[in-house]
Amino acid sequence: MKPIKVLIVDDSAMMRKTIKRILETDVDIEVVGAARDGEDALHKAAELCPDVVTMDINMPVMDGITCMLHLLEQQPDVRIIMLSSLTQEGALTTFEALELGAFDYIAKPSGTVSANLHIVGKELIAKIKLAVAQKKRRRLAFSKSSQIQNEPARVASGIVGQSTQKVVVIGVSTGGPGTLMEILPFIPQNIDAAIVVVQHMPAIFTASFAKRLDEHCKISFKEAQNGDLLLTSQGMLAPGGVHMLVRKSIHRGEYMIRLTTQPEESLFRPSVDVTMQSILDIFGKNTVGVLLTGMGSDGADSMAAIRKAGGITIAEAESTAIVFGMPHEAIRRGGAEIIAPSYNIAKEIVKAVNRL
């Protein structure tokens, strides 16, 4: 098998050397070149035809997003992984890049120049391999998603802001930000359920992502905090670095968010399984479970449990999943009643809430 050809784009000479050193530890990857800015990257990409480009965002001459747009136009099959600084500005720019066609992102552990990039080295290598293994589908899926925007959908007449009796819980990982933006903006404002999203994401990013969802969605969205109430027609994003549970208030009968580091042995924090199981324990058959693109199997067991309890489960189809790991495991374990491409999942969620 031919090695994966990677072009490194970063304005820091130290960062270029560090990334090159990390990638060269894997025999399946060949670093074919390095560029100091976006303009340099376009010239070298035309000459070297890389499979994957690691792209810094903030660079002189031409920034990473501008370069990415030119590159995708010239070489539509190239996969681009953004390297984002752990700042609020870096998070917002990263989400913009994902919506415009980047395959995924890696969060730098500190600042623009970091000699500690080896901390995320395994993740970078894994995502480079995934980028090549998965066929490109972002533009097709996004185009099709726009077709459902004006389709009428019956919604139950829930009272916005009242304590909810139904919950839609969505689990997603690699490729999630772009996929969620194909789904959540099409959820109607008066949907008779609370929407809970668990996205594997660093803690520094989740507040910015929640704000971006709030700006684009018909329902309100926020990053969950301890003591927040689950309310009809409102969305909650699990914060990074902790698990999100739902508990019933004994005195008021309302459903409240609780954040915890337990269980510590979970591979991911937040964990889709932990949140889904917590919601299932309280809402039972009034739970809609949705599992989207992502590596591994987080959420698959809980999807099976939701379906067994009489709830409704929806898994993203392979045709649109950037990484068909989590939804595939849900399907394999019998946890997917409905299998749908991303551009139809908003419609399926509405139908499921109406069925409960």
Position of tokens 């999100």?
A: 244
CATH 3.40.50.2300 residue ranges of the chain are: 4-134
Where along the chain do the CATH 3.40.50.180 domains lie?
145-355
Question: Looking at residue 253, what is its pLDDT?
Answer: 73
What are the pLDDT digits (tens) for 254-304? 899 999 999 988 889 999 999 999 999 999 999 999 999 998 999 999 999
30: amino acid identity, one letter: E
**Spans of the chain, pLDDT less than 50:** 111-113, 115, 136-154
Q: What is the pLDDT of residue 118?
A: 62
Predicted pLDDT of residue 110: 57
Active site residue 228: no
∠ CA 148-189-278 to the nearest 5 degrees?
100
CATH number of 145-355: 3.40.50.180
Q: Strands, E, within the chain: which ranges?
A: 4-9, 29-35, 52-56, 79-84, 104-107, 167-172, 194-199, 220-223, 234-237, 243-248, 255-260, 287-291, 312-316, 338-340
Tell me the per-residue pLDDT of 191-237, one tens digit each, with 9 for 90 and over: 999 999 999 988 888 998 999 999 999 999 999 999 999 999 999 99
- pLDDT of 155 reads 52
Among 85, 114, 173, 297, the one annotated catalytic? 173
Residue 81: left (phi > 0), alpha (psi -120 to 50), or beta? beta
Would you call 70 a catalytic residue per the annotation? no
Catalytic-residue membership of 56: no
Closest to 149 in 3D by CA, of 116, 172, 181: 181
Say how far residue 60 (Cα) sits from the centre of its chain.
29
Burial class (CB in 10 A: 0-12, 13-18, 19+), 277: middle
| Exposure string for 112-124, b = 16+ CB within 10 A, e = fewer | bebeebeebbeeb
Catalytic residue among 11, 37, 40, 200: 200
Pick the CATH number of 4-134 from 3.40.50.2300, 3.40.50.1980, 3.90.550.10, 3.40.50.1390: 3.40.50.2300
DSSP single-letter state for residue 64: H
Q: Which of 85, 243, 298, 328 is catalytic?
A: 298
Contacts for 184 with CB less than 8 Å, ≥ 6 apart: 195, 197, 213, 216, 217, 219, 221, 235, 346
Measured between alpha carbons, how far is 24 from 107 in angstroms, rounded to an integer? 20
In this prediction, residue 195 carries a pLDDT of 98
